[in-house]
Each structure stands twice: as structure tokens, then as C-alpha cells.
Amino acid sequence: MTGDALLVVTVWRELRADFGIPITAIFPDAVDIERDHARDLANDVAARAAAAGVAVETIIRHGSPSREICDAAAEHQPRLVVMGTNGWGRVGQVLFGSVSESVLHHAPCPVLVVPGDEEQASRTEHIRRRRND
């Protein structure tokens, strides 16, 4: 409705095995799998946006997701970054870090974080319980 274009940014990185050993040391094709998954995801989102009449561009980057998303935002200067959460919860965030939290703190523009399906269902259930108490 605003006429803005959509910039879809996906970031991939090599999976790590125990003790930080790259999976590619064991499964050399793992790099292709991760890169292809990022490309397929970006293309799927772009196709849905284009079908809705939204101008769209895709960027696929390699590296630290939060750093690459913030760098893309600095380079392209969007009015808003919109991103989802994975719904890992507090324990998962401590173990793996939170990309959305890092982007919230470091992006050069406003950030809107949309809860993932599992996180949204958990919040909805929590609200429902509070209303019934």
C-alpha cells in the first residue's frame, strides 16, 4: 500500500559439530545444503511478495546472521527491518544466542520482531490462562 519495495535478506553459515568442528569436515556437501536452503527460502518469500504485487529484491549472505542483517540494513537504509523469532525460548537463547535481539540492539533503523508460530501459541495460551484466573 505504501509503494515500498521489500528487501529479503537470508543469511547462512556452516553448521558446527561438537567442539566447533565444521560439519563440512565430515560432510563436505553440508555447505551446499545450507546455502541452497537460504536461497530457496529467499526465493519463496520473493515469489509470494511478487504475487501480491510487491516489488522485491533478495540478498543471500554468508556469516553471522545478526551482523549480516545489520550490515544489509546499513547499506540499503530501509525504513524498517521486520524479522521473525525461532521460538527457542530463554534456554535456547542462552545456548545459541538470539539473532532478533542482537538486530534489535544494533540495526541502524527500527526493528519489528514477529513471534514464530510456537512462540505465538505459547503467548496466546498464557493470556488465556491469565484471563481465566
Can you give the residue range of the structural domain that contains 116? 80-133
* 12 and 52 housed in the same domain: yes
* 51 and 97 housed in the same domain: no
Residue 6 lies in a domain: yes
In this prediction, residue 84 carries a pLDDT of 85
* 26 and 55 housed in the same domain: yes
Question: For the whole model, what pTM was predicted?
Answer: 0.75
In this prediction, residue 55 carries a pLDDT of 94
Distance CA 25, CA 8 (A): 30
In this prediction, residue 133 carries a pLDDT of 65
Split at pLDDT 50, 70, 90, the class of 97 is low
Written as one letter, the residue type at 5 is A
- Give 22-46 pLDDT, tens digit per residue: 777 777 787 788 899 999 999 999 9
Residue 75 lies in a domain: no
Residue 68 lies in a domain: no
* 46 and 84 housed in the same domain: no
